[in-house]
């Protein structure tokens, strides 16, 4: 067997051992037999290694990594990061409840998002979160009102839309003038002056987040420069001091030959820029999501039928767009690997599709596979934006999840039952 079949790019903890696909020291086939399919399996070591790479990049600095939990908000995953001392980036009151349940330190929680409700603001003030990343002038006034009514001061950072040129950086999708996120770069100074004068608010930082699955360093570094320009302009007004600089998340992972910069190398470059401009002593915050979990996870699924056709052959599996929404939503690529190889059988070119009644329900197109009904496949790179986006469409139960550490497996979510799904509905 060629060595290239034994491991997969970006996923050193997913490997074929004696022909059988494993996550860390455990065979996926054994886990699938025990827990059924579709089944998400995560490598704890991959997550800790990814976090360690960020921390290496920030060694010796005052820096806080806040895991952006919308990438994967399962409690068992959050506990791994909470125990490692991570902060968290949340975007809803529900996510706040999750991180607190996982044992997060509220002071290390930052609250992003363009549409925070008053109730969510009250909940976050009561919990004592570290920072509200506000995204509009209207939100600033509402948060001030809510904080005053609660007898508190809300710590805030204003999310800046750096408007990094799309022509040079086509992957950026949230940091452009046409996006709904953040406050326009040229409004920033006025917005900070306004916020600093409000008695219910305490200005503590500045933030930006330019997009997701970014595979080049330049957009980040451009955004950093644009934010630092603003820090200088904002602090030229007396009384405003930005204690932390938050550069968001968005670092990509290797799905299929993608070559994102390594976290440690990227953050060293960023720190060099900060040092050069005299900001090296500031507290740095970052909000990575995908790059802390994406390649930690696989989704195991069973082949239900193979269906030859005149134009296309279909491999119909028991996972679907409700479990793995990224192909349907973004035409995203996930590598698909059989758990056991049928080495002597010819491959057939298939579209791998789920049972959901939508033509958009596909997991992979034009994949060469030697498979039969009953075989198990692993959809790789399924740690981020899969389970957290899963739905009950077609009244399908959400999958079970297992966390693997070495030769130890922990069921962190049981498979949903039909009773779970019907519980909130009235007769
Ligand atoms: C989604 C999001 C992140 C995380 O993005 P990744 O691409 O998963 O790293 C960080 N910050 C904010 C504000 C976000 O919306």
Q: What pLDDT, on the 0 to 100 scale, is given for residue 214?
A: 87
Read off the pTM: 0.96
For ligand 1, say whether the CB of 121 is within 6 Å of any of its atoms: no
Regarding whether 305 and 281 lie in a shared domain, the answer is: no
Average pLDDT (3-17) is 82
Q: What pLDDT, on the 0 to 100 scale, is given for residue 167?
A: 43
Q: What pLDDT, on the 0 to 100 scale, is given for residue 170?
A: 52
Residues 6 or more apart whose CB falls under 8 angstroms from that of 201 comprise 140, 143, 144, 147, 153, 154, 155, 156, 195
26-27 vs 20-23, strand pairing mode? antiparallel
The CATH number that applies at residue 168 is: 3.20.20.10
pLDDT-based confidence at 6, cuts 50/70/90? confident
Distance CA 200, CA 190 (A): 18
The CATH number that applies at residue 398 is: 2.40.37.10
Distance CA 327, CA 25 (A): 29
Domain finish residue from 270, 288, 306: 288
Residue 4's Cβ-side half-sphere holds a number of Cα atoms within 13 Å equal to 0
Measured in Å, residue 107 CA sits from the centre of ligand 1 at 19
Regarding whether 413 and 380 lie in a shared domain, the answer is: yes
Q: What is the pLDDT of residues 65-95, one digit of tens each?
A: 999 999 999 999 999 999 999 999 999 999 9
Regarding whether 305 and 226 lie in a shared domain, the answer is: no
Q: Which of 22, 299, 315, 357 is catalytic?
A: 357
DSSP H helices in 163-309: 188-196, 217-235, 263-276, 290-293
In a domain? residue 84: no
In a domain? residue 298: yes
Q: Would you say 288 is a known binding-site residue?
A: yes
Total count of domains within the chain: 2
Regarding whether 298 and 218 lie in a shared domain, the answer is: no
Cα separations in angstroms, 46 against 42, 98, 116, 177, 185: 8, 22, 32, 36, 37
Ligand 1 nearest atom to the CA of residue 213, by list position: 7
Please, what sign has the CA dihedral across residues 25, 29, 30, 35?
A: positive
Ligand 1 nearest atom to the CA of residue 290, by list position: 8
Task: Please say if the pLDDT value at position 104 is more than 60.
Answer: yes
Q: Does residue 263 have a cis bond before it (omega within 30 degrees)?
A: no
In a domain? residue 313: yes
For ligand 1, say whether the CB of 209 is within 6 Å of any of its atoms: yes
Task: Please say if the pLDDT value at position 165 is more than 90.
Answer: no
Distance CA 287, CA 137 (A): 22
In a domain? residue 139: yes
Domain finish residue from 223, 255, 288: 288
Average pLDDT (210-215) is 88
Q: Tell me, what DSSP letter sits at residue 330?
A: H
Regarding whether 242 and 117 lie in a shared domain, the answer is: yes
In a domain? residue 277: yes
Backbone angles phi, psi at 408, to 5 degrees: -110, 130
The region of weakest confidence among 171-175, 179-183, 335-339, 342-346 is 171-175
Regarding whether 19 and 151 lie in a shared domain, the answer is: no
Q: What pLDDT, on the 0 to 100 scale, is given for residue 172?
A: 45
Average pLDDT (38-67) is 97
Ligand 1 nearest atom to the CA of residue 251, by list position: 9
Residue-range definition of the domain harbouring residue 334: 6-44+294-422
Regarding whether 145 and 265 lie in a shared domain, the answer is: yes
For ligand 1, say whether the CB of 289 is within 6 Å of any of its atoms: yes
Regarding whether 271 and 195 lie in a shared domain, the answer is: yes
In a domain? residue 96: no
Regarding whether 247 and 136 lie in a shared domain, the answer is: yes
Domain finish residue from 288, 323, 346: 288
Regarding whether 269 and 227 lie in a shared domain, the answer is: yes
Measured in Å, residue 111 CA sits from the centre of ligand 1 at 11
Regarding whether 128 and 265 lie in a shared domain, the answer is: yes
Q: At what angle do helices 118-127 and 93-101 cross, to 10 degrees?
A: 20
Distance CA 247, CA 243 (A): 13
Distance CA 369, CA 30 (A): 22
pLDDT-based confidence at 173, cuts 50/70/90? low
Do residues 207 and 133 touch, judged by C-beta distance below 8 A?
yes
Average pLDDT (286-313) is 97
Q: Would you say 192 is a known binding-site residue?
A: no
Distance CA 292, CA 69 (A): 10
What's the burial of 88, exposed, middle or buried (CB within 10 Å: 0-12/13-18/19+)? Answer: buried
Do residues 295 and 11 touch, judged by C-beta distance below 8 A?
yes
3-class secondary structure per residue, 126-173: HHCCCEEEECCHHHHHHHHHHHHHCCCCEEEEEEEECCCCCCCCCCCC
Regarding whether 254 and 119 lie in a shared domain, the answer is: yes
Average pLDDT (230-257) is 93
Q: Give the residue among 278, 294, 248, 308 at the shortest CA–CA distance from 388.
A: 294
> What is the b/e burial string over 311-348, where b = at least 16 CB atoms within 10 angstroms of the residue's CB?
eebebbbbbbbbbbbbbbeeebbbbbbbbeeeeeeeee
Q: What is the pLDDT of residues 216-228, one digit of tens each?
A: 898 889 999 999 9
Do residues 237 and 193 touch, judged by C-beta distance below 8 A?
yes
In a domain? residue 321: yes
Q: Which of 50, 51, 89 to mutate for ligand 1's pocket (most ligand atoms within 8 Å of CB)?
A: 89
Alpha carbon 117 to chain centroid, angstroms: 23
In a domain? residue 69: no
Token pair 């002071």: residue: 107
Q: Which of 249, 286, 296 to mutate for ligand 1's pocket (most ligand atoms within 8 Å of CB)?
A: 249
Do residues 164 and 219 touch, judged by C-beta distance below 8 A?
yes
């Amino acid at each position: 067997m060629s060595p290239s079949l034994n491991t997969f790019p970006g996923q050193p903890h997913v490997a074929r051992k004696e022909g059988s696909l494993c996550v860390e020291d455990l065979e996926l086939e054994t886990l699938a037999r025990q827990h059924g399919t579709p089944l998400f399996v995560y490598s704890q070591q991959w997550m800790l290694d990814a976090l360690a790479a960020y921390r290496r990049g920030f060694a010796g600095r005052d820096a806080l990594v806040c895991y952006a939990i919308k990438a994967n908000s399962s409690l068992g995953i959050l506990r791994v990061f909470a125990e490692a001392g991570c902060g968290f980036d949340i975007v809803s009151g529900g996510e706040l409840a999750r991180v607190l349940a996982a044992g997060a330190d509220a002071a290390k929680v930052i609250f992003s998002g363009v549409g925070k409700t008053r109730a969510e603001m009250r909940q976050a003030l009561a919990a004592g979160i570290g920072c509200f990343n506000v995204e509009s002038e209207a939100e600033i006034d509402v948060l001030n009102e809510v904080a005053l009514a609660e007898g508190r001061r809300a710590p805030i950072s204003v999310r800046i839309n750096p408007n990094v040129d799309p022509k040079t950086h086509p992957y950026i999708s949230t940091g452009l003038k046409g996006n709904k996120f953040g406050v326009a770069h040229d409004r920033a100074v006025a917005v900070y002056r306004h916020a600093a004068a409000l008695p219910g608010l305490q200005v503590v930082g500045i933030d930006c987040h330019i997009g997701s699955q970014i595979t080049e360093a330049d957009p980040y570094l451009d955004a950093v420069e644009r934010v630092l320009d603003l820090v200088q302009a904002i602090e030229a007004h007396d009384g405003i001091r930005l204690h932390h600089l938050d550069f968001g998340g968005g670092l990509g992972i290797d799905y299929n030959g993608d070559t994102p910069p390594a976290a440690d190398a990227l953050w060293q470059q960023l720190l060099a820029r900060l040092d050069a401009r005299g900001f090296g002593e500031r507290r740095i915050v970052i909000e990575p999501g995908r790059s802390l979990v994406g390649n930690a996870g696989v989704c195991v699924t069973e082949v239900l039928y193979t269906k030859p056709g005149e134009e296309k052959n279909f491999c119909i599996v028991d996972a679907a767009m409700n479990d793995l929404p990224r192909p349907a939503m973004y035409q995203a690529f996930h590598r698909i690997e059989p758990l056991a190889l049928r080495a002597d059988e010819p491959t057939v070119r298939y579209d791998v599709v789920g049972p959901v009644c939508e033509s958009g329900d596909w997991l992979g197109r034009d994949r060469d596979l030697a498979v039969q009904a009953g075989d198990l496949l692993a959809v790789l790179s399924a740690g981020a934006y899969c389970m957290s986006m899963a739905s009950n469409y077609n009244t399908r139960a959400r999958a079970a999840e297992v966390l693997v550490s070495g030769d130890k497996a922990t069921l962190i979510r049981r498979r949903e039952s039909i009773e779970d799904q019907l519980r909130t509905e009235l007769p």
